[in-house]
Structure 1
Amino acid sequence: MKLELRFFASVREKVGTSAEQASLSAQIKTVGDVRAWLVARGGAWAEALAEGRALRMAYNQEMCSADTPVADGGELAFFPPVTGG
């Protein structure tokens, strides 16, 4: 399965890229699985996307939760929560 991954704001700054095309195994079924796969890379990836860290996610440009299913050709974005001022 291939997914387009996008990273915004402080997440982008920490991981050093704004986007990548990922080829994932058939075992990856949900947004949470993708996040865990990225965290397993270690280093900046683990720090930026760690479980329990305040993070928003959108699948195919709609806000989603970790249990949202993913499919071939989808787009998944990670970004920090936005605060008003």
Structure 2
Amino acid sequence: MAKLVFLGRLADLAGAAECEVAPGTLEAILAGLPVELAVALLDEKVRIARNGELLINPGSIMVAAGDEIAFLPPVSGG
């Protein structure tokens, strides 16, 4: 299994900070999520990291067993 990690408001949308998924393409994994969550994760402002390394072009990555994919929403502060 692979692990998806949701940070910030994305965890609220997902209903949990993380979940386990079967390995496969990121596209196929996102297709298996609730539509509202998948759309939020595909926002161009959301950064994606695999095993702690930010991905420049995550469009066609293959998620392997043991991978951790983190979704980082834009940070707002004050």
Secondary structure of 2:69 counterpart: strand
TM-score scaled by structure 1?
0.68
Greater fraction strand: 2
**In the alignment, which residue of structure 2 is the partner of 1:66?**
59
Matches of 2:52 and 2:10 in 1, distance apart? Answer: 17
Tell me which of 26, 33, 43 is aligned to 2:28: 33
Instruction: Could you tell me which runs of 5 or more consecutive residues in structure 2 were left unpaired when the two chains were aligned.
Output: none
TM-score scaled by structure 2?
0.72
Number of matched pairs: 74
Residues 33 and 81 (structure 1), Cα distance of their counterparts in 2 relative to 1, 3 Å cut: farther
Contact 1:10 1:79 in 2 (8 A): no
Matches within 5 A, 1:1-85: 2-22=1-21, 24=22, 28=24, 30-38=25-33, 42=34, 46-50=35-39, 53-54=43-44, 55-64=46-55, 65-82=58-75
Deviation at 1:70, TM superposition (A): 1.4
Secondary structure of 2:13 counterpart: helix
| Percent identical | 30
Superposed CA RMSD: 2.2
Residues 73 and 47 (structure 1), Cα distance of their counterparts in 2 relative to 1, 3 Å cut: same
